[in-house]
Amino acid sequence: MNCVNHPDVDAPYQCHRCQSAICVDCETKTNGRSICPTCRAHIRQRTAERYEAETRNVNYGGGLFAGVVTAAAGAFLWSQLAVWIDSRLQVGAAVLGGAVGYAVMLGAGEKRGHSLQQIASMTALVGAIFAHLLIFLRTRGVAYAFPEYLVSLSVLDWLFLVLGVACAYWIPHPRSLA
């Protein structure tokens, strides 16, 4: 079998998408599968169109608003629950981060993109720190100063905080670039 693009050249590969026989020079891998140049161009075109649709006409104000409301409500609920069951309930940071990520994405008009990722992760970070502050104030009292509160956060607290911020950052990431 010879290459679909080079009739004189032997074709040891077959395109996974269109089944054409392709030579060593024409073959490239996409997700570990052999793809011909024509199909590669098709896939690139489709990816570019999907990215365009995902990231065009973003409602940044709506995204920010939805994120802040979700972060505030989430921080309040998390702190209430944490004080009630007498635990820091660290996993709240991950749940809050995921919720904020989704809220920002939906609020922006089901859009994704780098700026939305930044808005979501920053909002989730502030929300999680706010929740810990609420828990601290409820359990230790207002008399304790802010630095004491920051020192009171354990490694586990920070670990889940980072996880929450990562969730918020990942959710509005363009799927076309995944």
The residues that touch Zn ion, with contacts defined as CB under 5 A, are 3, 5-6, 15, 17-18, 20, 23, 26, 36, 39
Residue 69 Cβ, how far from Zn ion at the closest point, in Å?
A: 48
Residue 35 Cβ, how far from Zn ion at the closest point, in Å?
A: 6
Residues 113, 55: contact at Cβ < 8 Å?
A: yes
The nearer residue to Zn ion, 37 or 62, going by C-beta atoms, is 37
Residues 165, 128: contact at Cβ < 8 Å?
A: yes
Residues 96, 82: contact at Cβ < 8 Å?
A: no
Residue 132 Cβ, how far from Zn ion at the closest point, in Å?
A: 53
Q: Which helix (H) or strand (E) holds 27?
A: none
The nearer residue to Zn ion, 35 or 128, going by C-beta atoms, is 35
The nearer residue to Zn ion, 13 or 160, going by C-beta atoms, is 13
Residues 34, 14: contact at Cβ < 8 Å?
A: yes
- Residue 51 structure tokens: 């990215």
